[in-house]
Chain A
Amino acid sequence: MRVSTLGFQTEATQQMQTLDAEISQTQSDLSTGISLQNAADNPAAMSEVNNLDAQISASQQYQTNGTTLNSNLEIEEQSLSDATTTMQSARDLAVQSNDASLTSAQRQNIATQLSSLLSQLVSTANSTDTDGNYVFGGETNTSIPFSQNGSSVSYNGSNSVSQVQISPNQRVSSSDSGASVFMNIPGGNGTFTTAVGASNTGTASIDTGTVTDAADWVPDTYTITFTDPTDYTVTNTAGTTVASGTYTSPGTIAFDGISTTISGTPAAGDTFTVAPAGTASAFSTISNLITTLNNPDATSAQISSEVGTTLEQMDAAVSNFSNVSASVGARINSITAANTTATASQTAMTTQVTNLQDTDYAAATTQLSTEELALQAAQESYASIAKLSLFNYLQS
């Protein structure tokens, strides 16, 4: 087979250039540490790397979200704890005040202490979080949510709360609205409230009552009227008599699935009301008691009934704080769990990216020595072969 001189040289040069190019590529892989430099190197791997990088970035963002939220939730938990302590102190005072032997001045003293606890509760309800926003303001948390006017406290915040995303598929509430924590606490015993008629002259008091059969309860305001100290009728707002009977102290009056106990001696014309439980705010629970204790004309019976209702409502408030606190605790746990999962998955994804993208130094170094050897061999062989020519040996 015939080989042309020019052809031999061209081909040898081309081969050396190819080896040069390969060495250059390997060197680039080694010095940058990345072997997947272009999508052309491995389109499917590049696509996966992009995808993983995006997930890692999103995961880190969720962790940041969770950290901020965690601090805020811990502040909320602390506030709820403070509110519970305040409410329990108030409860102790309420129990104290249910003493028929107290003088008017002593009752007013208790009322003053309750006032200061009320202000403390308002202050707790207006706490702020790490961003300077109000913890219990709902979605209008840049303006102060609770305002106190004398002994009445109103809520100016919103009833909705926003959410924070702590993991790819979890969004949790960022706080609780003041309405759900402090304002809309179920009143009375949860179904109905009882009250002593304001103009009663007798000494009878009424307890908070119980529900015997919820299905039979017809929500309405009922009036228990004593026609004389031993006979009563129960009428609803339409004027219909739903029950009647005789009374001895203590006596249970039952109708429409509920029962309540009256003790003491009612006078003729005395009334007691049974009304559907609305919601009561934690504040009005305290301020109602303050009003009653400050009234010099309040009778022991009225005070006793008021305290009964107050204690029930205070317990309901503390129970509500406790429920909210439990949900806050659960959210804090979710954040911790999401954080752990995120850290683990980020590690896994980063490893995957490294596998797809990074240079395998051991393999690349070996490849480099192989290519260098090939290039050296090509260069040396070319140098020795190119010198050979018959012309060298022809003597004239």
Chain B
Amino acid sequence: MADLLNTSVTGLLAFQNALNVTSNNVANASTPGYSVESPNFTAEPGESTGVGYYGTGVDVSTVTRSYSELLAGQMRTSQSSYSNFNTYATTASQVDDMLSDTTTGLNAQLQTFSNSLQTLADSPTTTASGTAVISAAQSLAQSVQSYSSQLSQTEQNVEGQIGSNVQQINTLATTIANLNTQIATGGSTNNTLLDQRDEAIDTLSQYVSVNTATDSSGSMDVFIGNGQSLVSGDTAQTLTTIPSEYNPTENDVALTTAGSATPLDITSSISGGSLGGLLSVRSQVINPTINSLGQISVGIASVVNQQQAAGLTQSGTAGQPLFAVGAPQVSPSTSNTGSATVSATVSDVSSLTADNYVLANNGGTWQLTDQSTDQSVAMGGTGTAADPFTAAGVSIVVNGTANSGDTFLVQPTAAAAAGFSVQLTSGKQIASASAVQSAAATTNTGTGTIAAATVTDPTNANLMASTSIVFSSPTTYQINGTGTTYTYTPGSAITANGWTTSISGTPATGDSFTVSSNVGNTSDNTNLFAMIDGLSSNSLDGGTTSLTGAASSLISQVGSQTQQAQSNASAQQAVNTSATDAVNNLSGVNLDEEAANMVKYQQAYQACAQLITASTTMFNTLISAVSTTA
């Protein structure tokens, strides 16, 4: 009935509800993910009377929350991006910090080692100088090993974080699935549940990039990364970490699928968020740094050890290797079915790279692919011990039988730095002198001069045997008197018995030159200079990079990657702030607004109450008018 009392009562109830909504908003002003709710007043239908329609009051039909899926989506996207770059930058800057020390860093240690060789060259017989070389070598080795173990530690931290990120994603997925169930079964207008679900998805976007799709029942399906389904209606998939195909200490992200014992590796579909950032920093910064450090270590060891072998120590014996370095690693895939084993050794230091390679058996033929570029790499040889495959500076030998589809990961330099150590203990073991010396006979009458002989093959059995070069005429000579007569060209190389030298000028007939053992010339420092020159020569990357150049390049590379990630994170943070602001401005509680609403509803409530009083007064008047006073 359209009357004063009932209409006012509807008003009273409506405004009471509105005040409830306001108090709920105020109470939840700081709740994360809470969207401001507003009561929707709907006028009650009018009643038809003889003189027209009279309204019958008001009702709060629904309470709607202010929420925009579009703005939320934008915020999640920028959140994932920011989280991605931030995680990447944080981890990369750990590696950058480690490498950036200029006083005790790799370059400084290399220079100190070179300096110690110079001091020894000043007086090779001084014991203290020899000891100083060993000390400098040990410092260098410790520095490299320290980097290696810090990188290993950082890697372990990353693996741990990947694990905990995956757990968080799983927890959130379960929460979202549960909320989907509740919302689908009658809760599609339950603002609290809706807010909770949106909050869960927002949090999820920090870990990995997300996309959502709502279906007709109100359930929200969640897709992560490059479209991998995570939540579908009331079902949440479970992510897990599995050991990677080749390296049991590295974790890949996988999906446990119902009805299959083997989880499906989905690492390549993960992108965005902190999980994406961790996977990227591992493959773009940590692993390449380990490999590059290894490449430099192999370079140092190779230059120094080769020169040790070509020289003589103070006691006249051939030098032994000064540095040991970790060997190339080959890991079989966990899905291999054949029985082949593959091993690799370094064969050409200057062709080494900082990449890993996959050796695959395709229908009986072996093919090598660069793991980072997916480019195929040509191999020489046949893979047997007598004729190994050669590619990228390593020799690869295959034993046993492989089945088609078997693959192996070849890592030429990954273990080199961890195994970089000093093998000699005494300064007297440094091969300071050259193994051979050259001299012109004092009875020579011509103007021929012979250059210092350099050792090209220390393993030659006749290296130290005395060899004479006698000129039968000013333009021809014989080596050791018999056999071939060679034509003399001034300055061109003369090679024999594992050494090489050259003669210039004009020798006379009968002039002779000798290359002989250098044992006894304890103050000869030729081999030390060869070592020093070798350390500063371009021994890496096909003769284009020196050891210090490679170290410098590694430091700037990591520095650049960190700088770029930091600046991207910074830019994304600004975008995220702006997107978050947009969301907050729409859905956030403004206390001033609530205060104003409170006043509004209070006044309206009081007004309705007054009308009820008026109705009561009118009723009393009527009653008192019709009651008899007899």
Contact = CB atoms under 8 A, between A and B. Distances in A.
Contacts of B118: 61-62, 65, 165
A62 B590 CA distance: 73
Given A58-B114, A278-B443, A5 B119 contact: no
Nearest to A64: B119
Given A38-B100, A171-B529, A390-B592, A6 B29 contact: yes
A394 B595 contact: yes
B107 A53 contact: yes
A219 interface: yes
A160 B596 contact: no
A44 B556 contact: yes
A7 B588 contact: yes
B378 interface: no
Interface stretch (B122-130, B148-156, B483-491): B122-130
Contacts of A62: 118
Contacts of B526: 162
Interface residues of A, number: 61
Contacts of B114: 58, 61
A159 B439 contact: yes
B591 interface: yes
A37 B93 CA distance: 11
A389 B556 contact: no
Interface of B is mostly: helix
B130 to A, nearest CB: 13
Contacts of A117: none
Contact of A131 (B126, B439, B443): B126
A99 to B, nearest CB: 35
Nearest to B524: A139
Contacts of B442: 179, 184, 279
Pick from A138, A163, A276 the residue with the most CB of B within 10 Å. A163
A49 B556 CA distance: 11
- Size category, B interface: 35 or more
B340 interface: no
Interface in A352-396: 357, 389-391, 394
Contact of B30 (A6, A38, A51, A162): A6
Given A6-B29, A131-B123, A39 B588 contact: no
B521 A389 contact: no
A236 B383 CA distance: 71
Given A4-B590, A39-B96, A54 B580 contact: no
Interface in A243-278: 276, 278
A196 to B, nearest CB: 25
B614 interface: no
B142 to A, nearest CB: 19
B477 to A, nearest CB: 20
A140 B520 contact: yes
B555 interface: yes
Given A46-B559, A58-B111, A158-B520, A38 B590 contact: no
Contacts of A41: 559, 563
B115 interface: yes
Contacts of B615: none
Interface string B236-254: 0000000000000000000
26 contacts: A4-B585, A38-B93, A39-B100, A39-B562, A40-B93, A40-B560, A47-B552, A50-B108, A50-B552, A54-B108, A54-B110, A54-B548, A57-B112, A61-B118, A68-B123, A131-B123, A133-B523, A139-B523, A141-B523, A158-B437, A162-B121, A162-B525, A165-B121, A390-B591, A390-B592, A390-B595
Interface of A: 1-7, 10-11, 14, 37-44, 46-47, 49-51, 53-54, 57-58, 61-62, 64-65, 68-69, 131, 133, 137-142, 158-160, 162-165, 171, 174, 179, 184, 219, 276, 278-279, 357, 389-391, 394
Given A40-B92, A43-B556, 14 more contacts: A6-B30, A39-B99, A39-B100, A41-B559, A43-B559, A44-B556, A50-B107, A58-B115, A64-B119, A65-B122, A68-B123, A162-B124, A162-B523, A389-B592
